[in-house]
Structure 1
C-alpha cells in the first residue's frame, strides 16, 4: 500500500468472513444454552456486559475462524513490512486481543465497560489513538463510514459504490476489495437435497392404497411444511456446530463454517422458514400442526443437546424419521396403524446407527467425533444395535401380515412374505455399507441415490402391490 501508517482492520466481515460476537453467542448456545440465555436475561439492558459475559462463557477458537483472503494478505504483508496492524470490533475486547495475538498483530480494540465500539464511537477511539488521518482503515459496512472518513486511506470491502464516491469526494484514497455473499450459498445452507427425506410422509398413503388427487395434494403440502421446517433447523444446527464443522474433513466447507454466508443472513432465513412451516401447518389443521411443532421442538433439542449423548442421539434420529410418517397420516387423514409405526422405528434406529458407523469409518483419527459421543471403539456396538433394529423390523413386518388390516388390504397375503426377502436384503446392504464407510453421511439421502438399493425397494413394493391387487387393477394383469 506504500503507507507506513497503522493499518486498522474491522474484524467482522472484513478481516474475518464472520461476526466475532455472533460466533460467541452461538458457541455459548451450543456449549451451555441455559447459561447463555441466563446471561442474556441478566444483562439485557447492558449490551457491553453481555458481550463480556458470553466471551467468558464460550470463547470461540480464534485459530478456526474463516479469514477474508484479500484482507488477510494485506494485513500479513503490512505486518512483515513493520507496520502496526490493529484489529477493531464491537465484540468483547479480550476476544479481539486474543485474535490479534494469534496472528501476531500490534493489538486489538473491542467493546469495554458500558459502551460498544461502533460507528462514531469507533471513529473517536481511532482518532484518539492515531490522530485524524493518522491510520488506514478497512471495513465492510455503512457502520464504518465515520472510521473511513477519519482515515487517510479507506479500504472498502464489498459493493458500496456510493460510500466510495463520497470518500473520494472528501479527499480520501479508496481501495475497493470484493466482498459480499451469494444467494446460492445460502440455498446450499438450506440443504435442499435433504428434502427427499420427507418422502416418508407418503408411507401412510402407500400403506392405505389411497392415491386420490386430494390426498396427494395434502401430502405434498405436508412435505413442503416439513422441508421448510427442516431447513430452518439445519441452519440452527449449523450455527450451533460451527467449531465442530470446522474440525470436520468435509463439513468445514458448509456455508456458515466457511464464512461464505453471514451468520445474520442465516438467522433471518432460519426464522423466515420456520414461520413458513408453521403457516402451512396451520392451514393443514391442528393435528398436523401439533406433529410439526413436535418435530421442530425435538429437532431443536437434538441440535442443542441430544446429539451429544451416546445412544440417545440415534434413538432421537429414529424418532424424527418416525414423526414424518405420523405427519403424513395427520396431513391426509389416512390412519397409520400402530404396527406400521412399530415397524418403521427399528428401521430408522438401524439407519441412525448406520449414519454414525459411516462417520466413524470415514474419520481420520481414533478420537471421538467432534460434537458427538462416539469413537471408533463404538463401531461394534453400533453394528449390534443396527442388527437388532433390522431383525426387529422384519419380525414386526411378518407379524403385520397376520393382522385384520393386512387381510383386508392384501388378498394375496403370501406376497407380503415374499416381499420380506428384498426388504431384508436392502436393510442388510445399508448396514454393511455403513459399517464399511461406503455411504454418504446421511443414509436416507444415500438410499434415494443408490441404484442397487432402489432396485431392492422397487421389488419390495412390487410384491406388496401385487399382493394388494393394485397391479391387476391398474394394468390389468
Structure 2
C-alpha cells in the first residue's frame, strides 16, 4: 500500500428517512508539534536510551536504512505514556466542536503507524489514521499526495512546520498551530482561508529550561577569593569568572539532560509537569541542541581557564550524570550527592585561583547544601501527601513514611553546618593575614541561623518552593540576609574606612 491507513470501527446507524446533506470535507490533523506539543520519534529514542544507553549503537545501524525504517524500529522498542504527553488543548476543543458537526477527523502523521495508533486510542476524536509504515516516510510531499488521493473532494489541514507547506498547497483551508513565524508567513502567502493558534515564546521557555537563576549557586566559586585573601587581585577575579561561566554552561546543559531523562516522572508530578520540556513549551529538538552547545561551550571555557578548572568541571559533570542516571533514586545518598555538587563549586574556585584548601570550608559547604537538598525532598514528600499520593515518590527512592526521617536529617545537617562554620572561624579564619577585617565574618553564623530557620519553618508550613535556591532568589527576607552576608564578606576582605569603629578592630 505504501502507507498505513486505519479507520476506527463504527457502530451501525439506522438508515435515514431522507437523503443526507453532503458531509463537510474532512479535518486532517498533524501529530508532532500540532496535536501533541512534542515529537514522538525523539520521545521514543530518549525512552530507549533511558533504559539502555548502548542502544545508541543500534540506532546508528538503523539510520542508513531510511527514516521510515528507523521510525519503525524506535516505535517497536519505545515505552511511551501517550496520556501524560502535553497536547494542544485549544486545538482539541476545536476538533471536538468540528466532529460534533459530522466532519470526519483524520490523524495524518509522519510518525510510525505503531505510535499513531496509540495516539488514536488515547484521543477518541479521530476516525482515521494515516501514517508511515516502516517502508515509506509519510512526510511533506508524500503526505500531500496521499491526502489528495484519499480526499479528492478536498480537506482542511492543521500543521505546524515547513514540511506541512506542500500539504497546505493541496488543502482547502490552512490551520497553523504554533508554527514558527517564517512558516506562518509562507502559509499566509498561499492565499487560502487560514486559522492560527499562536505559540508562546520559545525563547522564554528555553531561558526557563536553562534555569539561569540556578547560576546563583556558582557564586560559590568566588568564596575562596575572599576567604583566601585574593579579593583585591584582578587576575584572580578573571580566573574565578571563567570558572563561574564554565560551571554555569555545564550546569544548564545538565539541567536539560536531567529533564530529558526525567520526562515521564516530571509529567506525573504536580508542579514539575510545567517545566518547559515536560509541558512541551520547549521542543525536544531545541532542548537537545542547547544541551550539546552548553556542554561544548562550558568545557571550552574550562579548558581555557586551566587544567585544574577543567578537571573540576569534568568531575562536576561526571557526578551530575551519575546523579541523573542513578543516584537521584537512592534515598539519602541523593541529598548527599547534591551537597557534594555544591562543594565541588567551591573546589573549582579554589583550583581556579590557586589558594590553600580549607577542609573546614568544604565540610561546611557539604553540610549546608545537604540540608537544603533534604528540604527539597521534604517539600516533595509533603506535596505528594497533600495531593493524596501516598507510597513511593515518582522518580525518587523515598516513600511518604520517610518524611520524619528526612526532616530530622535535614535540620541536623543545617545545624551541623553552622557549628562547622563557627569552628572554621575559631581555628582558621583569623590566621589569614590577607583578610583586612576577619571579625566581620562572625556576622555570617547569625545570618545562617536565620536563613536555615526560615527555610525549614516554611517547609513545615508547605510554603517552600520545590527548590530552596529558586525560593531564596525570590524571597525578600532571604535576599536581605544574603545582602548582609555579602556585606560581612566585603568588610572582611577590604575592611572599613580608617577611623570607623576602631574599637572593634575592624
Query: TM-score normalised to the size of structure 2?
Result: 0.82
SS at match of 1:176: strand
d(CA) in 2 for partners of 1:455, 1:77: 53
- Tell which deviates more after alignment, 189-198 or 316-325: 189-198
| Partner of residue 414, structure 2 | 390
| Partner of residue 329, structure 1 | 350
Report matched runs for 1:166-181 at 5 Å: 167-168=190-191, 173-181=192-200
SS at match of 1:45: helix
How far residue 245 of structure 1 moved from its aligned partner, in angstroms, is: 2.4
SS at match of 1:356: helix
How far residue 354 of structure 1 moved from its aligned partner, in angstroms, is: 0.9
Q: Deviations over 1:136-183 (max 9, x none)?
A: 322222212333334343434434356335644xxxx43231344522
Report matched runs for 1:125-136 at 5 Å: 125-128=146-149, 130-136=150-156
| Partner of residue 370, structure 2 | 349
SS at match of 1:43: helix
Assess, with a 3 A threshold, how the Cα gap between structure 1 residues 196 and 49 changes in structure 2: closer, same or farther. Answer: same
Residue 76 in structure 1 maps to residue 96 in structure 2: yes
- Tell which deviates more after alignment, 43-52 or 308-317: 43-52
- Tell which deviates more after alignment, 329-338 or 287-296: 329-338
| Partner of residue 216, structure 2 | 196
How far residue 450 of structure 1 moved from its aligned partner, in angstroms, is: 4.2
How far residue 443 of structure 1 moved from its aligned partner, in angstroms, is: 1.6
Residue 25 in structure 1 maps to residue 45 in structure 2: yes
Residue 164 in structure 1 maps to residue 187 in structure 2: yes
Query: What runs of 5+ residues in structure 2 fail to find an aligned partner?
Result: 1-21
d(CA) in 2 for partners of 1:474, 1:273: 49
Assess, with a 3 A threshold, how the Cα gap between structure 1 residues 464 and 252 changes in structure 2: closer, same or farther. Answer: closer
* Contact 1:423–1:457 (CA under 8 A) maintained in structure 2: no
* Contact 2:368–2:413 (CA under 8 A) maintained in structure 1: yes
Pick the aligned partner of 1:376 from 394, 400, 412. Answer: 400
- Tell which deviates more after alignment, 76-85 or 41-50: 41-50
Residue 123 in structure 1 maps to residue 144 in structure 2: yes
Residue 430 in structure 1 maps to residue 450 in structure 2: no
**Count, aligned residues:** 470
How far residue 317 of structure 1 moved from its aligned partner, in angstroms, is: 0.8
Residue 96 in structure 1 maps to residue 116 in structure 2: yes
How far residue 16 of structure 1 moved from its aligned partner, in angstroms, is: 2.0
How far residue 404 of structure 1 moved from its aligned partner, in angstroms, is: 5.8
* Contact 1:101–1:107 (CA under 8 A) maintained in structure 2: no
Report matched runs for 1:18-417 at 5 Å: 18-30=38-50, 32-34=51-53, 36-37=55-56, 39-46=58-65, 47-104=67-124, 105-128=126-149, 130-157=150-177, 158=179, 159=181, 160=183, 163-164=186-187, 167-168=190-191, 173-182=192-201, 183-212=203-232, 213-363=234-384, 364=387, 365-401=389-425, 403=427, 406-409=430-433
d(CA) in 2 for partners of 1:473, 1:109: 81
d(CA) in 2 for partners of 1:445, 1:137: 42
* Contact 1:7–1:137 (CA under 8 A) maintained in structure 2: yes
d(CA) in 2 for partners of 1:147, 1:413: 72
* Contact 1:39–1:50 (CA under 8 A) maintained in structure 2: no
| Partner of residue 465, structure 2 | 440
How far residue 451 of structure 1 moved from its aligned partner, in angstroms, is: 4.5
SS at match of 1:90: strand
d(CA) in 1 for partners of 2:262, 2:345: 24
* Contact 1:354–1:435 (CA under 8 A) maintained in structure 2: no
Assess, with a 3 A threshold, how the Cα gap between structure 1 residues 334 and 139 changes in structure 2: closer, same or farther. Answer: same
Assess, with a 3 A threshold, how the Cα gap between structure 1 residues 178 and 275 changes in structure 2: closer, same or farther. Answer: same
d(CA) in 1 for partners of 2:440, 2:343: 25
Assess, with a 3 A threshold, how the Cα gap between structure 1 residues 413 and 165 changes in structure 2: closer, same or farther. Answer: closer
SS at match of 2:53: helix
SS at match of 2:102: coil
SS at match of 1:60: coil
